Amino acid sequence: MEAAIECALAHKREYDAINHLVTDTRLKRVIRKAPSTSGLTLLNCLLADDLTEYRLPIETLCALDENLRELSRAEAIKQPTKLAIKLLNMDQFLNTLSELALSRKLIEQGYTVRLEEKFFNSKDVDIFATKSGEKKFIEVTNLASKPLPLSVRSGELSEVSYKDLVVEKIVNKYQKKFEVEYEKGWLGHSWVALDVSKNHDQDIKTFFQSFCRDTWIDELAMHVGRACPNLTGVVVYRTRPNETHARIYGWRQINGIQANPELEMGSENSVT
């Protein structure tokens, strides 16, 4: 166990921002509590000689360190202890990487960002982003951790089963985080960010190309709008260690099925 502790600490110190966020004491405590955890966490990344066993590129830790550095510089991290715990938690690690990557992209696009922002009845949201007086309360979810249906690979996104999958993810996140708050009088602008990164590259490319069709966006707005009448819009994105491509779709009248591509961040056409 002591050898594992020294190995993890030595690797952690190679990454300034990670080292600053995750204290030696916390890392030692995690190792002593669960030294044989097989799930993917920051700890196991620090202990691994080769991240390919987790199907992660070796640049993952470098990208995490860069994102933490930029977010710290932008004063976006308001609860560093909570963030460190999430990175060391098997159930939250990958989702947290996703949130950090999107947050950095928003900052690059001129937004002021804060993570884990309290917004109503002491409830917090993954990302709070402001720009030109507009406030976005963003909750992040992942589309899938398995290949998309074959209909996507063939370029056809018209099958109800596939659209149901996308709608279900957005609706579930909205209902879990925002629905009760609206019923209690909250009037903020809620957004759901859909990360498609866990899918195969070809599926992702096809998804972005098809998702951007006006007819499909209109249909998505109709289905989501029925269950999420107060949802302001959806962020769709893919992140890799060195880049994040995303599009933000807001609806002027989500119940009126009118889609409005509000802002492009990156280019879906460059997804390879």
Kindly state whether residues 20 and 103 are assigned to the same domain.
no
Kindly state whether residues 67 and 169 are assigned to the same domain.
no
Amino acid symbol at 231:
L
Q: Domain range holding 270?
A: 92-272
| Domain closes at, from 65, 88, 111 | 88
Kindly state whether residues 131 and 55 are assigned to the same domain.
no
The percent of the chain in helix, strand and coil, each rounded to the nearest 5, is: 50, 25, 30
Q: How far is CA 174 from CA 48, 88, 190, 197, 229, in A?
A: 36, 26, 8, 20, 10
Kindly state whether residues 161 and 97 are assigned to the same domain.
yes
> Can you tell me the mean pLDDT for 159-182?
83
Distance CA 141, CA 143 (A): 7
Kindly state whether residues 44 and 101 are assigned to the same domain.
no
What's the pLDDT tens digit per position in 192-205?
Answer: 998 887 766 666 66
pLDDT of 152 strictly over 70? no
What is the pLDDT at residue 244?
Answer: 76
Kindly state whether residues 29 and 127 are assigned to the same domain.
no
Kindly state whether residues 6 and 55 are assigned to the same domain.
yes
Among candidate residues 203, 206, 151, 141, the one with its CA nearest the CA of residue 172: 141
Kindly state whether residues 148 and 255 are assigned to the same domain.
yes
Q: Check: CB of residue 143 under 8 Å from CB of residue 198.
A: yes
The better pLDDT of the pair 177, 37 is held by 177
Kindly state whether residues 105 and 231 are assigned to the same domain.
yes
* Cβ count within 10 A of residue 197: 19
pLDDT of 14 strictly over 90? yes
What is the pLDDT at residue 196?
Answer: 80
Number of structural domains the chain divides into: 2
Secondary structure letter of residue 177 according to DSSP:
I
| Domain closes at, from 88, 122, 150 | 88
Kindly state whether residues 59 and 160 are assigned to the same domain.
no
- Which regions of the chain does DSSP assign to beta strands (E)? 112-120, 123-131, 134-142, 190-195, 231-240, 243-253, 258-265
pLDDT of 266 strictly over 60? no
Distance CA 50, CA 119 (A): 40
Secondary structure letter of residue 137 according to DSSP:
E
Amino acid symbol at 34:
A
| Domain closes at, from 61, 88, 115 | 88
What's the pLDDT tens digit per position in 209-224?
Answer: 666 666 667 777 788 8
Distance CA 45, CA 41 (A): 6
Kindly state whether residues 67 and 115 are assigned to the same domain.
no
pTM equals 0.82
Among candidate residues 82, 253, 127, 226, the one with its CA nearest the CA of residue 167: 226
What is the pLDDT at residue 190?
Answer: 94
Kindly state whether residues 73 and 97 are assigned to the same domain.
no
Q: What share of the chain has pLDDT > 70, as a percent?
A: 72
Phi then psi for residue 131, to 5 deg, are: -160, 125
